[in-house]
Amino acid sequence: KDDDVADQEVHMMKKNVPKKSFRKPSGNNNNNNHNYDVRQSRDSNNEKYKCQKCGYDHTRGKCPAFGKQCKRCHNYNHFAYGCKLRNENQNRETHVLQNNDSSDDSLYVDKIEHINKLNIDKSEWSIIGRIHNTSIKFKIDSGSQVNILPLRVFNIINDDIKYSLKPSKIRLAGYDNNRIKIEGMVKMLTKIKDRDSEIEYVVIDTTDKPILGLNICDKMQIIKRLDTNKIIHFENKDEVVDLYRSVFKGLGTFPGKPYTIQLRKDAVP
């Protein structure tokens, strides 16, 4: 009888135990580990990082500079932002403008330089313009793709008529990768050579001169594009030699006193 009671208790316990479903593992356990590694690899590839080649944040293998030519050193697979060359002349600092919305090209300002009054480049081109009642001396820079207005000049103009600066997505940096803060963008009616034009300026806090870039100089006919209409075609090299005979006559000499070159006794000239 006691055995019957014990059997009933065991039977009741079995009923109360929840059933577990077991599934036969398919394949080798190494496959599961492999799938985990693949997922982990995919997650790491989707992580964005700051790229030193282009200056943007992107995932691995998505660099916009890949296959593109640097406009500073002319090598490939990096923008001017990631160029390893350094500006050797500290007094002439070249800056680059990079647009966040563009992955192909960069906008360039040829140079923004501090000019010592005792050492002024007389060959520098400049022009007088007027914004409302303020007369401004602009530097003509055909190497610049934007127009630069120093903050101090903007504040002088703003005392007369109030302008509001608009935020800009453009990033300004030197080739040493030091960022330059942009105060904003502003459009101002500017009079140059008796012509009025609404010009968009990038406003930065600098002591340098205001700059008129290539596009506005071309638009307002400050500079003129010259195209050659005369092209000389030669059938062979003899025609070139005959036309420029004086260039190909003799071995040519350098001006000045003769220079003696001493060689080692075992040297073969």
Residuewise pLDDT in 10s, the chain (269 residues): 445 544 554 455 444 545 544 455 555 555 555 555 555 555 556 788 888 888 888 888 888 888 888 877 778 888 877 787 643 333 334 344 444 444 333 444 544 443 333 333 445 789 999 998 889 999 998 877 789 999 999 998 887 778 889 988 887 665 556 777 889 999 999 999 888 999 999 998 888 889 998 889 988 888 887 776 677 777 788 888 888 888 777 776 777 787 788 888 888 87
Strands (E), the chain: 49-50, 57-58, 92-99, 107-113, 126-131, 134-140, 148-150, 170-174, 179-180, 182-192, 195-204, 211-212
Instruction: Set out the domains of the chain in order of their start, with CATH numbers.
Output: 48-85 (no CATH), 89-226 (2.40.70.10)
Single pTM value for the model: 0.43
Q: Which residue carries 């330089």 as its tokens?
A: 113
pLDDT of 34: 52
